[in-house]
Amino acid sequence: MATDQAELLKAIHDAHGPALLRYAVRLTGDYTFAQDVVQEALLRAWKKPAILEQSDESARAWLFTVARNIVIDDRRSARHAREFTTDVLPESPTPDASDAVLDAWVLSDALSSLSVEHRSAVVSAYYLGHTVAEIARRDDVPEGTVKSRLHYALRAMKIALQERGVTE
């Protein structure tokens, strides 16, 4: 019984849903609210199995009438009477910088757990944008040493961040 009812409702939705949505959009001028109206009309049809068993034209007329009544009821409601739309928000949303601050704090803490050479290599390469050759020249070490320091520093950073619960 429930499967037959679901199949009938799906057939009614497939046959009349797009037209009902266009009708509701014309009535409301609001696509999102129109979708809610269509959903509510179909829900009411599902709650009344006799509607689902009527002829196609009767079911369509019933759905359109129910949709119109839902819109009218909404327009008469206290919620609609008290709400108004505006293009100007009373307060402008501001981005929340707390995540960035916490990330910086955790990274700073993890960086401080590295040796001076490893920390210097990571900061120079990843924060200051220096090349391996520039870091090697500045520190007066071979480029291979800088690459090795970066490799081991990143491994140590990964472990430090895992210990702090940031990564797995």
Instruction: Report the CATH architecture of 98-163.
Output: Orthogonal Bundle (1.10)
| 12 neighbors 29 (Cβ within 8 angstroms) | no
Burial of 127 (0-12, 13-18, 19+ CB in 10 A): exposed
Could you tell me the maximum CA-CA distance found in the chain, to the nearest angstrom?
89
Q: Coil, helix or strand for 53?
A: coil
Would you state the structure tokens that stand for residue 107, as one six-digit string? Answer: 């990274």
Domain segments of the chain as ranges: 2-82, 98-163
pTM: 0.46
pLDDT in tens, 52-73: 778 878 888 999 999 999 999 8
- When the pLDDT of each residue in the chain is averaged and rounded to a whole number, the result is 87
Please give the pLDDT value at position 80. 65
* pLDDT greater at residue 148 or residue 164: 148
Residue range 83-105: average pLDDT?
Answer: 79
Residue 73 neighbours by CB distance under 10 Å:
11
pLDDT at 16 over 90: no
Instruction: Report the CATH architecture of 2-82.
Output: Orthogonal Bundle (1.10)
Please give the pLDDT value at position 48. 84
Residue range 139-168: average pLDDT?
Answer: 91
Please give the pLDDT value at position 81. 65
pLDDT in tens, 107-118: 899 999 999 999
Cβ neighbours of residue 152 closer than 8 Å, sequence gap 6 or more: 118
Reference 70, options 21, 104, 103, 113; nearest CA is 21
Residue range 25-53: average pLDDT?
Answer: 88
Residue range 65-87: average pLDDT?
Answer: 80
Residue range 31-47: average pLDDT?
Answer: 90
Please state, in angstroms and rounded to a whole number, the distance separating the CA atoms of residues 138 and 120.
11
Reference 9, options 44, 61, 58, 35; nearest CA is 44
Reference 20, options 5, 46, 40; nearest CA is 40
